[in-house]
Amino acid sequence: MKSIWSKSVKLEKREELADDLRVQNVVIGAGIAGILIAYLLQEKGQEVIVLEAREVASGQTKNTTAKITSQHGLIYHDMINTCGIERAKGYARANETAIQLYREIITKEGIDCQFEQLPSFLYSTKEVETKRLKQEAHAARMLGIKATYKEGEEITELPFEVAGAVRFDDQAQFHPLMFICELAKKLTIYEHTKVIEVDDYMVITDRHVIVADNIIFATHYPFPILPGYYFLRQHQSRSYALALEGEGVPKRLKGMYFSIDKDGLSFRHTKGELIIGGSTHRTGKYGAKKITEHGIDKTGFSHLEQKVKNCYKKADIIAKWAAQDCMPHDKIPFIGKFSMRMEHWYVATGFQKWGMTSAMVSAMIISDCITGKENSYAKVFSPQRFLLKAGIKDFMLDVGESVWGLTKGVFAPKEKCCGHMGCALVWNEDEDTWDCPCHGSRYTAEGEIVDGPAQEDKIR
């Protein structure tokens, strides 16, 4: 199930690492985060190599929907209340700066990647939600974002009625692989070079050892269990996307759309196709099958397809794909020092399905930190923060999920268990994989690793 991006761009192959090395900086992982971090480090005069276990952009990045926006759902009103106005301002400005930096890099490098400036809309179909949308527009304006509230009648291009929406101006969308393809050409990247262990200044791959001054984990979910305790600080959530064309399907939209409703849909166009996303759920949590008027309704693709067919009856689905992302409890990514104990380790994770701007923010913060430049956003995203008020509910839910998964893994010997921490796995019928509800690792039916944090092809 290839995304519309993977179907249209083939990235240049890179050699495996063939020797031991001594370098200034090693970035582990060549997704959007790893590529941007390496690029900005190199631009600031640093020597940097990227190690990738598979191929460039072969992780979640190839399956994104690639909206470049500071509109990350309904966040700003809550963030002001739970984290304070200064942190919320920092979050908003960092993400707005990230959009601007995309524009600058694309212009400077002359990258043709279908980059398009568009407004972004956060909408609801429910009248009862308009109050929260108005609050969000007000909160975003307080933080310096060009935000306005729009009445439902003003949103006319979606295939259903909308109750209200928040519009952010000067946002963007692009083709992520066309962008990465060009940027990657400037970098030293080793593909099929999997990092097995990191020990202080040593990065140990399946064949070689690299000694580096700084080590950056851009592996989507950081794989070391200790230090950092990232397995206790976030879970993974999966969403699905379809690309459509055909009679009645708009080829262009005037904006990008994201719903705040439970089971709502997101929309954007590409060059001629419409992408619709939705069916979000915690990885490994596949609710009981329900019989609906459309037949058996499962989470994932079939559910989304049913919804989409209700909107565009004659649509042809030309591509479908899924991806997942890390969801931190306090809804702020972890960007910066990996842990207090490891001064020279850095991390970029917890992008909560907004990895395009979050990856750029990671590149800004980490490259400044390494080159000794103060970064005014570093404190906002610091992995060493502790925001109890913002994260306690999700923390308790995640602990409960992990305790349940681990207990099942230990006391039910027939269960398939994850190689990461031993939690019981769940069969995902839509994608034919074994998925972990605790931390989100996924395996093929044969036990080959698909998504981390687990690193080995090992189901117990």
Ligand X SMILES: Cc1cc2nc3c(=O)[nH]c(=O)nc-3n(C[C@H](O)[C@H](O)[C@H](O)COP(=O)(O)OP(=O)(O)OC[C@H]3O[C@@H](n4cnc5c(N)ncnc54)[C@H](O)[C@@H]3O)c2cc1C
- Minimum distance, C-beta of residue 359 to ligand X, in the bound complex (Å): 6
Q: Among 456, 427, 422, which Cα is nearest to 439's? A: 422
Q: Which is nearer to ligand X, 212 or 323 (CB)?
A: 323
Q: Tell me the CA distances in angstroms from 86 to 97, 298, 332, 380, one per residue in order.
A: 16, 42, 14, 9
| Least distance in angstroms from the C-beta of 78 to ligand X | 19
Strand partners, 168: 120, 147
Smaller CB distance to ligand X: residue 52 or 305? 52
Q: Which is nearer to ligand X, 42 or 135 (CB)?
A: 42
Smallest separation (angstroms) from ligand X to the CB of 166? 17
Q: Which residue is nearest to ligand X (CB)?
A: 355
- Closer CB to ligand X, 53 or 438, in the complex: 53
> Which amino acid type is present at position 153?
E
The binding site for ligand X (CB under 6 A) comprises: 28-34, 51-54, 58-61, 64-67, 194-195, 218-220, 223, 239, 241, 277, 323-325, 351, 353-357, 359, 452, 455
* Nearest to ligand X of 171, 408 (CB atom): 171
SS3 of residue 359 by DSSP: helix
DSSP codes joined into one string, 234-279: EEEEEEEEEEEESTT--S--SSEEEE-STT--EEEE-SS-EEEEEE
Give least dist CB 451 to ligand X, A. Answer: 8
CB of 411 to ligand X, least distance (A): 30
Least CB distance from residue 357 to ligand X, whole Å? 6
**Least Å from the CB of residue 388 to ligand X:** 25
Query: Between the CA atoms of 357, 363, 369 and 373, what dihedral angle is there, to the nearest 10 degrees?
Result: -80
Decide whether 258 or 408 has the Cβ nearer to ligand X.
Answer: 258
Q: Which residue, 34 or 164, is less far from ligand X as judged by CB? A: 34
What are the CA-CA distances from residue 441 to residues 31, 237, 456 (Å)? 17, 11, 10
